[in-house]
Structure 1
């Protein structure tokens, strides 16, 4: 556990206020929290903490927590945006950031108060347990190889950037296109790869282009790097509500069992309520997950919550365990755009709560992202024919056209997408010179 030896200080406007704890205090509290978590039944990887300042936290946030990741302008854009929002007090920074690795690595903000460090360490042990035991992480990632994988990928990308025959612009162009379609992959985490090499990866767009596209070896390697790193992040996308709810449930349970002083306990209640406060116009995953795990413990007992933690993802978690009573308690409702206004469509009454639950299921995790699959390759002109699996939500035309152009850059031949626009079946084509055309099908 890496902790500064001297007292840290807190930035507060133009004032610098000495914090009230030492590195030894944090080590002692870490031992207490780890023992309490283990006694409660949590099973986690060895845990490492690193104390970082706000600039480091912004950097890690921009790179999704990875200490080493390949260079790309989008990460710099994320850093500048977060840095500006923080400097002008428009938004804050995460209390912590946790990496799904073995050992598990977590970053703590050195500006945090003692209580906030205690709470976030307890929160981290909840995440650690979830990473180790939820089936999506067990089947879809290799925690012991995480840090090494990202470092090796970064080294390979930098080699291509430094290669005079490729250069930064060549690598950037491939990365731009790969990022635009990285989530158009197989959505069944942990599914075994087909042994028959002849079977087409039609639900994995990058894999299909790597296999059938006219690409150089280094370009295929860059695409496979993006594909592998996306697969690492997919379980986190699919379990955001469960993962944050589980960590919040355990930091709340753990700190209530610790011998906190009255002042620390008062701050704990305030901080916890800040974490799970319902948000206006959107779902707070910490709040929804926390309330659902509390309800599961109340209705079924502790064995059940550990079983749910191991087996479910957000969609199945909500569909199976979000009850009418919880919907009413949380005052969930559903609204939609009607003309120039937004109106409430459903409320959490006896007739409407199941529709609200279905909407949550259809918009959580990877379901937030449109699903595009390969239909065919035209024998006439090598056109790549794609199909949007339409489930009632139309594609954003600006993003759709830009993405088709990126696919064209990779495929190098015309690209055709079949989708639905204004309730009509429509064929959208990106042809030579990247011209976009629309054809309504009858």
Structure 2
């Protein structure tokens, strides 16, 4: 499909948007745009947007899945893809209409401002090193694959295990790496404080691993810290970008034909989904409401300080719950118990449920507790939600793979303390605690 605009038209609208972004107080990294085909967009989506990334079967699987779905009109492609880097890189689909390109450019500037100013991104990533970091990681992985003494199968085995555990890292940032004197003080303790909430780092340092295996795990762990802020701010980030594309395009004096398409496209982006949460919808509605209640200065403060969990707990109120028609439900025996927003208890239950299940709230926290007779002891930080046993059994095998021995995981099932054991031969069993 040929684009319905000349490139100079798009460049002119892009300049207008850039001027408006600065006038509205958004502070962004230098912004670079690349026009790409839908085939390129499929590749970028599969490889998380990076110009260079290490190879792994999961990325090829993601590419083939998206390509098949797109070919049969079962899903669309993202209008754009943005990388948290400095300069900020964004890809635009060549087949987008002129209005859709204008809208996505405005949307990209919202993401750019969020990347540069939200504290999770500032604390956990260095945007100026992003592209080079991923390129260096890709080169190291490819070197190990090409090494005759290692090869692709061994590399894939370690990557599979590391990917399964990629979010079992410190959730508030890495903290500083201790010096030699600090490490010496830690030797009497099996799990020093710096490793207690970072299973992947513990396995990197204490597992029975070759140097190249440790390096691969450290690569996956380092990239996890790049992705965690995005996971933790999905509602805020998409809501912020949607709020700003709406605000900016309303001030662009669009021609009537483009204005009508703008309203149609915007409503498609921020419409509610049946049976699931649309982060664009919830984030947009909340920022729109907060702008009316508190003003732009407060919005910039919220954008800088919060993550999805705190954002929902502090600013999702009964009025917003009613406007967005939110509810939740639980199954008790044969009954379906629904929480509605008609009273304070109802809407707070909905708010708390949402706050507990966004970001890394969906990822169980598993911490190393110690080592006894060569057995690695793990503790599931139980919060009332049980482990999904099929996933737990498979994941503990990956822990045993990296540990190089037996592993035991303490948890709770059906209100009873349990231990999930994995042998060196990857045989998993569940036991009652004594």
Bin for the TM-score computed over the shorter chain: over 0.9
Cα offsets for 1:264-286 (capped at 9, x unmatched): 00000000000000011111111
Cα offsets for 1:130-159 (capped at 9, x unmatched): 000001111110000000000000000000
Alignment of 1:162-241 (within 5 A): 162-189=146-173, 191-193=175-177, 196-197=182-183, 198=186, 199-200=192-193, 201-241=195-235
Q: Residue 346 of structure 1 aligns with which residue?
A: 339
State the shift of 1:193 in Å.
Answer: 4.8
Asked if 1:103 is matched to 2:87, the reply is yes
Q: Residue 319 of structure 1 aligns with which residue?
A: 313
Inter-CA distance 90–339: structure 2 relative to 1 (3 Å threshold): farther
Residues 139 and 190, structure 1, Cα contact 8 Å, conserved in 2: no
The whole-number CA distance in structure 1 between the counterparts of 2:220 and 2:36 is 28
Q: Secondary structure at the match of 2:29?
A: coil
Alignment of 1:26-41 (within 5 A): 26-41=10-25
Gaps of 5+ in 2: 187-191
Cα offsets for 1:175-228 (capped at 9, x unmatched): 000001110111113644556332340211111011111211111000000000
Q: Residue 291 of structure 1 aligns with which residue?
A: 285
Alignment of 1:85-96 (within 5 A): 85-96=69-80
Residues 333 and 344, structure 1, Cα contact 8 Å, conserved in 2: no
Asked if 1:308 is matched to 2:306, the reply is no
Residues 3 and 94, structure 2, Cα contact 8 Å, conserved in 1: no
Q: Secondary structure at the match of 1:434?
A: coil
The whole-number CA distance in structure 1 between the counterparts of 2:292 and 2:175 is 34
Q: Residue 424 of structure 2 aligns with which residue?
A: 432
The whole-number CA distance in structure 1 between the counterparts of 2:429 and 2:74 is 41
Q: Residue 388 of structure 2 aligns with which residue?
A: 396
The whole-number CA distance in structure 1 between the counterparts of 2:22 and 2:298 is 18
| Ranges of 4+ aligned residues in structure 1 off by more than 6 Å | none
Q: Residue 15 of structure 1 aligns with which residue?
A: none
Q: Residue 108 of structure 2 aligns with which residue?
A: 124
Q: Residue 419 of structure 1 aligns with which residue?
A: 411
The whole-number CA distance in structure 1 between the counterparts of 2:140 and 2:392 is 30
Cα offsets for 1:240-299 (capped at 9, x unmatched): 000000000000000000110111000000000000000111111111111111111111
Equivalenced residues, count: 423
State the shift of 1:234 in Å.
Answer: 0.4
Q: Secondary structure at the match of 1:345?
A: strand
Q: Residue 155 of structure 1 aligns with which residue?
A: 139
Residues 189 and 235, structure 1, Cα contact 8 Å, conserved in 2: no
TM-score normalised by length of structure 2: 0.95
TM-score normalised by length of structure 1: 0.94
The whole-number CA distance in structure 2 between the counterparts of 1:293 and 1:405 is 43
Cα offsets for 1:75-115 (capped at 9, x unmatched): 00100111111000001010100000000000001111110
Residues 46 and 103, structure 1, Cα contact 8 Å, conserved in 2: yes
The whole-number CA distance in structure 2 between the counterparts of 1:142 and 1:389 is 30
Residues 32 and 89, structure 2, Cα contact 8 Å, conserved in 1: yes
Residues 309 and 355, structure 2, Cα contact 8 Å, conserved in 1: yes
- Kindly report the root-mean-square deviation, in angstroms, between the aligned alpha carbons of the 2 structures: 1.3
State the shift of 1:336 in Å.
Answer: 2.6
